[in-house]
Structure 1
């Protein structure tokens, strides 16, 4: 059966980018960079931190993902509506039983070093991601793959242990980028050799990273000569740089900062995001190994208050799944409204009538609302007798601790995906490669995720993931808070850039400076 597949998941209308008219005012501060606006066709993007790695299989930091998406290619891609479209594979076929997927690679695809892409590179990449010693963050995406073979240089065949309706969307993640079989992790941690529309140019750590147009890109070389990601740690300084013309584009998550950025020459576009804010609980560490303690935390938090305090209400209170076709009902949880009496009952049941202390880590620098979220959660939990000890970390230290599951609780912003398997298949199944970070698994979730992967019918999958959401909420596995908006600020001469609900900057390949 030939099936040049497009994902059945369509972004809901609420996730379409819509222009937001904001009352503008001038911002102040040093722009943190030179007075040179990049010149010519160099587009300057203001960012608050430097990518922590250039190795795509281990990247989790948002700034790193933004850069790597433009340097590397994947077998499939997501379009602006978050539907699966061809990438390095121009087409694919799925067998009638769903156990064999055959990909036909594009002709004429080259890596930035001039070598040709062939099926051997794909086999090497996918097998490496699957290998436990690689510690790839998206290894679980390939959990159903039993073997990867290349019958000829332009064909790749995946043999699956069971049908997997999520894998095509999963293959679009840059965490499954196709690398040259000649490159190693050591080669690519600070360098890059991809098949993407841009190749790595100059880099000054903690100051700037520039990517340049790749003339031999299979989709046609970008019109921009280069894109500079200029590190300006303070967002108000990015605002000043935008208004002075030294930065062309920036993405904010603080609506007040975005409002201050708008001026005659700067436009703001508001885009609801799939990414979600959560208080992650490590259910394998005391006192969070007691479900009653987790439920007490859940009942103590007014999510709307966190959203209002941290992001001025610019977002939506959510449940676990933000994928539009599988959206969780935020009221389908114990204590959909804050209930301190119920929280104290749960604490008493757990043996903490006199309260308890909880260590919570939070990052500073990757996104603007983090510390405000943490402090509001701290204040709310105190009312229930839970004393929160906050540990504020710079983003590099936070990511290291997070990946190692070296925390009791963490205020987190995690990326959402159009398919719930892509969101949580690496977290909550006991075999997920980030299950240690998730801090929770169960036989029920193992079975539900297996059913979700193997079921193709959209309505049946919706029912399965409703059960997943309910299981996560009933056990207060994490405390899901809200999804926020991104605010993309662009100079008037920036044309063709399309913000996406998954936060991707992939449309830089189609962007021009008018």
Structure 2
């Protein structure tokens, strides 16, 4: 018997045509290419930009508004003394290679991150963990050495995503996670491709394919967007062009906040920066607003400490380091450098660093400090500055969320070693009362501001230029991520 083909109504035909034409791929440009693809072992923010939430997931995760919500952990219970967290994991979660994600993988990930030989860039997130115990395949218990009011927040960082022992050996080049997208291809120097995870445990993303392109040059970035070669540019590096895009109906411009404290990083163990008077002189030699206007075309909020101004616990400490070249010269003379000195200024690729570096070098010359600029690629910066600590000054935006705790690590690249600050951070970790935490955070901000650990410049704004039909993009960046899990095209 011949099959009878059903007739389609005009409405059904229109619906079918609409579905057939709906765009399901996207090309996103960002400025920096990740040096590797292991968020648990690499320090570069570009790793999270591509992979956070898209490929890798943690027990908890950040939403676009900065809130912390359940991730791979469906729920959790906290003991009365605040030291034991019992996580209940989602059932039916698989890694992209088909292996099951369970409590053993959580234990492996947390134990690996806190191990003595760990290369995790934020190893301090896991310092308070004393034990990770598998209760059953979907239940894992984490014991801390004391209450930590930031623990669930810390578990949302990209450095705390869950990985598997079966795929860890090749993670730097072939990332295997549990996220809504799988890693497809990486053409180094050009692009990285993701594909929809058809077996995703959560809500399926609207996009089938996503391509990240890496365009560091501001002129090339402008050309790529104008030619519509890319659909989205997150962290658009030429803010002077934003008015042109705003006036063009083809595009939308989103300007939001980041967690990026942009600082003049200072090597506190390298002479002469081991002298507080010299660091203070540098702080007074800097005209923040000139840097914001000249390098960022007005996008950015001046800061006087390492803390985000949009955080309710932020303390305005700009008065500790106003622009005062005469004061800077006096301090240099008092420190024994009346004739100035020469140092290095090593700059990573972002335009805020390259453009800002030129301005800062000029400002430092006015007080007698000769800063010799070296423009480094991101991998070079990681090796020389972050790992090798071979620098005098640098410029970088620390985009990790509420990361003032890095100042408690004397081995961190700017090498600030203050036992009083370290004790304060331990007290903060053990404090759960909101008012008490606010007081301690205020003290912490004040200490590093008055010690002039680094030159505090501005809170980095993030500008995104996208085609008019793209929806679901993050406006703000509570962590350095381009989360595509809820991005779609308007029909």
| TM, length-normalised to structure 1 | 0.87
Superposition map of 1:15-34 within 5 A = none
The equivalent residue for 1:313 is 298
Task: Determine helix, strand or coil for the equivalent of 2:40.
Answer: helix
Question: Which of the pair has more CA radius of gyration?
Answer: 2
Shift of 1:304: 1.4
Partner residue, 1:325: 312
Deviation at 1:66, TM superposition (A): 1.2
CA, structure 1 residues 295+504, in 2 after alignment: closer, same or farther (shift >3 Å)? closer
Conservation of the 8 A alpha-carbon contact between 2:283 and 2:455 = yes
Is 2:400–2:479's contact at 8 Å kept on the other side of the alignment?
no
Match of 1:424 among 381, 404, 411: 404
Q: How far apart are 1:416 and its partner, in Å? A: 3.9
Please point out which of 453, 458, 465 is paired with 1:489.
465
Asked if 1 retains the 8 angstrom alpha-carbon contact of 2:263 and 2:458, the reply is: yes
Which residue, out of 90, 98, 103, partners 2:82?
98
CA RMSD of aligned residues (A): 1.8
Deviations 1:447-501 (A, max 9, x none): 1101111111112111111111111011110111001321111112212223233
- Within a 5 Å distance, the mapping from 1:356-371 to structure 2 comes to 356-364=341-349, 367-371=350-354
- Tell me, yes or no, if the aligned pair for 2:400 and 2:480 is still in contact at 8 Å: no
Q: How many residues align?
A: 464
Alignment of 1:269 onto 2:245: no
How far did residue 136 of structure 1 move?
Answer: 0.7
Equivalence for 1:284: 269
Counterpart in 1 of 2:416?
440
Q: Is 2:140 aligned against 1:156? A: yes
The residue number in structure 1 matching 2:68 is 84
**Mapping 1:128-277, distance limit 5 Å:** 128-184=112-168, 186-251=169-234, 252-262=236-246, 263-277=248-262
Question: Which residue does 1:474 correspond to in 2?
Answer: 450
3-state SS in 2 of match to 1:123: helix
SS in 2 for 1:190: coil
Q: How far apart, in 2, do the equivalents of 1:139 and 1:183 lie?
A: 21
**Kept after mapping to 2: 8 A contact 1:238/1:247:** no
In structure 2, distance between residues paired with 1:221 and 1:238: 31
Contact 2:62 2:478 in 1 (8 A): no
- CA distance 1:460–1:488, change in 2 (3 Å): same
- 2:485 is paired with a residue of what secondary structure? helix
CA distance in 2, matches of 1:55, 1:132: 18
Aligned-residue offset at 1:506: 5.0
> For 1:92-141, what per-residue CA distance to the aligned partner results, in whole angstroms no more than 9, with x for missing partners?
11111111111111111110011111100000000000012121112100
**Alignment-derived partner of residue 394 in structure 1:** 377
Question: 1 CA distance for matches of 2:112 and 2:323?
Answer: 46
2:325 alignment partner in structure 1:
340
Deviation at 1:250, TM superposition (A): 0.7
Gaps of 5+ in 2: 1-21
| TM-score for the superposition, normalised by structure 2 | 0.91
Show CA shifts across 1:309-332 (max 9, x none): 111121110121116122131325
**Structure 1 residue 343, shift from structure 2 partner:** 1.6
Of 31, 34, 37, the residue aligned with 1:48 is: 31
Does 2:279 match 1:294? yes
Answer with 369-378 or 256-265: which moved more: 256-265
